[in-house]
Amino acid sequence: MKHAIGRWCAPLVIVLLAACGEKLPPPDAANSGPKLVKAIKVGADSVSHQTASEHRYSGEVRARYESQLAFRVGGKLVVRLADAGARVKAGQPLARLDPADAQLTVVQAEANRSLAAAELQRTQELKAKNFVSQAALDAKVSTAQSAAAQAQLAKNQAGYTTLSADAPGVVAAVLAEPGQVVGAGQGVFRVARDGEREVAIAIPEAHLAGLKVGAGGTAQLWAEGADKMYRVVLRELAPAADPATRTFAARVTLLAAPADLPLGLTATVSFARQATAQIVVPLAAILQQGAGERGAAVWVIGADSTVSQRVVEVERYSDTGAVLKNGLSAGESIVAAGAFKLVAGEKVRIAEVPGK
């Protein structure tokens, strides 16, 4: 039995020893040498031409000229003759103050004027007889003129107790009620004048660089539906941002809008943006080196097929890739895939893409 096992084991040991001494086959030439990468050329297959888009802003219809009406004298408001939303004509009375004090002032001023006029007449008669000097007569003339001016001023002040509309329009707001004591210049009504209509909007600071006074656009009123469109022109843009909203107030003029267009209607204003070409690279080409969009880089392939790392600034990430703000120029080739396996100065081979 032992002799039989020995006869079988001896050849097996010889075969194993022969196998251990046999050399391994050389590695596949395809798996050696520079790494194989997929590349794209900036300005050819990496540029996405962005179609023309537009910025939209919501606002409300306003009159170009809005006047805040106020009494020119102070007093107690006794009558209000117009409500918010009422249409008014030029010269139409809107409110009245208590006229008692103003009327007493008129009576006093008229009495002073009559007295000064009588004294002037007597002085003139005495001067004719050379009983008074010319200087005395001149003083009486000055006093009489001053009294007459004071009387006229008192009449004007009495007239100011009635507040009237200075132009046709619509009462946009009522700012005081009967029984309230108002001071001179304190607003009582805000009247939107008939005529040119505008839309008040707010521009965020990110869009400020693309808008200038005089820019054209379109506007739609929600009350009139999407079928009717108005042409608009940016007439006014605030030089400073609102401290609360951090937006810039703007006014756009509605061209060919009816003069009686209701105020306060909601409108959507659109300004077109020009089409621009942006560099879009695959997400696999981006090396993230730090936090934020400024910590990104790509591998740029040189003329000698060596790669070097280039820091780029990403504007935004999308489903189609990373939109670059700067860092690459047209004509440069970059590694589109396998970027994390490379080192600076390494030579690479570019994979052939079927059909190109």
Average pLDDT for residues 315-326, to the nearest whole number? 79
pLDDT tens digits along 253-265: 999 888 778 888 9
Structure confidence at residue 302 (pLDDT)? 87
Q: At what angle do helices 100-128 and 134-159 cross, to 10 degrees?
A: 160
Structure confidence at residue 280 (pLDDT)? 83
Structure confidence at residue 274 (pLDDT)? 60
Structure confidence at residue 10 (pLDDT)? 47
Please give the angle made by the CA atoms of 329, 330 and 331, to the nearest 5 degrees: 115
Structural domain that includes position 307: 35-50+277-350
CATH code of residue 204: 2.40.30.170
Structure confidence at residue 79 (pLDDT)? 95
Q: Which two tokens stand for residue 235?
A: 């007439």
pLDDT band at 12 (very low <50, low <70, confident <90, very high): very low
pLDDT tens digits along 121-143: 999 999 999 999 999 999 999 99
Q: Which two tokens stand for residue 144?
A: 């009489």
Query: Between 71 and 2, where is the model more confident?
Result: 71
Query: Would you say 306 and 347 are in contact if contact means Cβ atoms under 8 Å apart?
Result: yes
Q: How far is it, in rounded angstroms, from Cα 71 to Cα 96?
A: 9
Of 242, 272, 302, at which residue does a domain stop?
272
Average pLDDT for residues 189-207, to the nearest whole number? 91
Residue 290 resides in a domain: yes
Q: What percent of the chain has pLDDT over 90?
A: 53
* Domain identity same for 332 and 283: yes
Structure confidence at residue 135 (pLDDT)? 94
Q: Which of 291, 343, 331 is nearest to 314 (CA)?
A: 291
Structure confidence at residue 267 (pLDDT)? 94
Query: Between 89 and 273, where is the model more confident?
Result: 89
pLDDT band at 310 (very low <50, low <70, confident <90, very high): confident
When the pLDDT of each residue in the chain is averaged and rounded to a whole number, the result is 83
What is the maximum alpha-carbon separation in the chain? 181
CATH code of residue 294: 2.40.420.20
Q: Which of 174, 120, 129 is nearest to 147 (CA)?
A: 120
* Domain identity same for 156 and 141: yes
Of 272, 306, 336, at which residue does a domain stop?
272
* Domain identity same for 268 and 281: no
**pLDDT over threshold 80, residue 26:** no
pLDDT tens digits along 208-266: 877 889 999 999 999 888 788 999 999 999 999 999 999 999 999 999 888 778 888 99
**pLDDT over threshold 90, residue 198:** yes
Per the rule left: phi > 0, alpha: psi between -120 and 50, beta: everything else, 345 is left
Residue 207 resides in a domain: yes
Query: Between 202 and 195, where is the model more confident?
Result: 202
Residue 167 resides in a domain: no
Structure confidence at residue 42 (pLDDT)? 80
* Domain identity same for 248 and 223: yes
| Helix (H) and strand (E) counts in the chain | 3, 23
Of 137, 160, 183, at which residue does a domain stop?
160
Query: Between 15 and 118, where is the model more confident?
Result: 118
pLDDT band at 355 (very low <50, low <70, confident <90, very high): very low
**Three-state secondary structure string covering 186-237:** CEEEEEEECCCEEEEEEEEHHHHHHCCCCCEEEEEEHHHCCCCCEEEEEEEE
Query: Between 40 and 61, where is the model more confident?
Result: 61
CATH code of residue 138: 1.10.287.470
Which residues 6+ apart lie within 8 Å of 57 measured at CB?
201, 202, 203, 268, 269, 270, 271
* Domain identity same for 283 and 330: yes
* Domain identity same for 141 and 290: no
**pLDDT over threshold 60, residue 49:** no
Tokens 């605030």 belong to residue: 238
* Domain identity same for 59 and 206: yes
Tokens 């089409």 belong to residue: 275
**pLDDT over threshold 70, residue 144:** yes
pLDDT band at 277 (very low <50, low <70, confident <90, very high): low
CA distance to 48, 194, 222, 270, per residue, from 228 (Å): 34, 22, 10, 14
* Domain identity same for 232 and 286: no
Instruction: Tell me how many domains the chain contains.
Output: 3
* Domain identity same for 59 and 198: yes
* Domain identity same for 230 and 250: yes
Residue 201 resides in a domain: yes
Amino acid, single-letter form, for residue 63: A
Q: What is the DSSP letter of 12?
A: H
Structure confidence at residue 110 (pLDDT)? 96
* Domain identity same for 260 and 304: no
Q: How far is it, in rounded angstroms, from Cα 21 to Cα 61?
A: 94
Residue 350, beta-bridge partner list: 37
**pLDDT over threshold 80, residue 70:** yes
Q: Which of 57, 65, 64 is nearest to 248 (CA)?
A: 57
Residue 79 resides in a domain: no
Q: How far is it, in rounded angstroms, from Cα 106 to Cα 146?
A: 14
Residue 185 resides in a domain: no
* Domain identity same for 221 and 241: yes
CA distance to 9, 10, 17, per residue, from 3 (Å): 10, 11, 22
Give the N- to C-terminal CA distance of the chain in Å, as an integer.
72
Structure confidence at residue 354 (pLDDT)? 46
